Amino acid sequence: MEIFISVKNDDYDDNFSFEALTTCFIPSPNLQHLTIPSCPFPSPINAAPRISTITSMSVFNTFPSMMVENFLPSLEVAKHLERFYFYSKDTYSWDETARLDYSPIAHVESLRSIDVTAPGMGTDFMRNLEAPVLSHARLDGWRRHYNPKYDKLTFKGQMKAEPISAALQRTSIRSPLLRSLQLEFIRLYKPDEEFPNILTGNWFPNLEELLLKEVSVKDQHFIEAARSSTPLKQLAVFKCKHVSARGLRPFVVGRQHGFSLTIELRPKVSSKAFKALSALCNITVRR
C-alpha cells in the first residue's frame, strides 16, 4: 500500500493543519510507502501508530523553511524505515538543526538508503541521524538558480559548506557499513582534506561504489590516495573539470581485480589516455 499526499503553496496558511494524517491510517498494517509534504506535519506522538509500518518515505519541501527539529522524531518512530528521500529548493538552512553543535540525534535503526538535497535542510537530516546499517547515501546540491554568493553565507559563524562536510564526517562514524556514496553538485568546506579522506578510506572504510558529479575533486586528491588500500570497486567521475588521466592513472594502478571506472570523454582526458586506463581496469566512456 502506498499513499501520496500533496499541498499547494497557495492553499497553505498558518492555520492549516494536517489532522487527516492522525486518523486516516487506522488500522494500516499494509502501509509501506508514504509521500508527504514537509509542512504541515503532525506531531511524532500522534503519527507513530500510522507510520510504524512504513519502509520508505519521501518528503518534499516547497516552502521557504520547515522545522527539521520537529520532524526528526517522526523518523525515529518509523522503526521499519529503510529508505528516506528528502527534496527541497532551499539554498541554506536557517533552522536550529543547522548548528554544528545541535545535539539531539534521531536513531533510525533500519535505515539503509538516504537521498537528500544539500546544502540546506536535507543536510540537516543526514547530519543528525544515527543509522548503523546505512549502506547508500546520496547528496544532491543541484539548484536551478544557483548564485555563487550563496557559498559565502554564514549562519552563526558557520560557512555554508561546513554543515555538508560535517554531515559526511559524522555519517562515516555513525554508519561504518556504508557501501555506496554519491556526491553531486556539492561544495565541501575543505575539499583538499575531505576528498582525500574519502578516497583513501579514512572516511567510509567499507565504501565500494563512489560517484562524483560536478564537484571540486582534483587530480592531486586521486594522486594522494593512489597507494591506499580500500575495498572500492566502482568509481564514476562526471563533469569534474579538475580531473584528468594524470590523477586517475596512479589511483587506478593496483586496484583489485574487477575494478571499474566510468568517466566522460573530455578534453582533459583524451582517447589515448582512455586506452591507457583501459589496460588497468574496466572502463566505460560516456560522451
Instruction: Provide the residue ranges of all domains of the chain, joining segments of one domain with +.
Output: 2-189, 206-219+230-287
Q: CA 101, CA 99: separation in Å to the nearest integer?
A: 5
Mean of the pLDDT values across residues 210-232? Answer: 94
Q: Dig out the grid coordinates for 135 from the structure.
A: 549502506
Angle formed at CA 52 by CA 48 and CA 57, multiple of 5 degrees: 100
User: What pLDDT digit, counting tens, does each position of 80-128 carry?
Assistant: 999 999 998 887 777 888 888 888 899 999 999 999 998 888 999 999 9
Collapsed DSSP state (helix, strand, coil) of residue 169: helix
CA distances from 16 to 11, 19, 43, 241, 262 (A): 9, 9, 14, 47, 48
Q: Which of 239, 233, 222 is nearest to 287 (CA)?
A: 239
Q: What is the DSSP letter of 98?
A: G
Q: CA 152, CA 242: separation in Å to the nearest integer?
A: 22
- What are the phi and psi torsion angles at 266 (to 5°)? -135, 165
Asked if 89 contacts 61 with a C-beta cutoff of 8 angstroms, the reply is: yes
State the pTM of this model: 0.86
Predicted local confidence at residue 276, as pLDDT: 74
Q: What is the DSSP letter of 269?
A: B
Give the lowest-confidence range in 139-148, 154-163, 193-202, 228-237. Answer: 154-163
Q: CA 196, CA 208: separation in Å to the nearest integer?
A: 16
**Other C-beta atoms within 10 Å of 167: how many?**
25
Q: Is the pLDDT of residue 192 over 90?
A: yes
Q: How confident is the model at residue 70 (pLDDT cuts 50, 70, 90)?
A: confident
Q: How confident is the model at residue 15 (pLDDT cuts 50, 70, 90)?
A: very low
Q: Is the peptide bond before 27 cis (omega within 30 degrees of 0)?
A: yes
Q: CA 86, CA 59: separation in Å to the nearest integer?
A: 5
Asked if 282 contacts 259 with a C-beta cutoff of 8 angstroms, the reply is: yes
Q: Which residues contact 34 (CB under 8 A, 6 or more apart)?
A: 2, 3, 5, 51, 54, 56, 57, 58
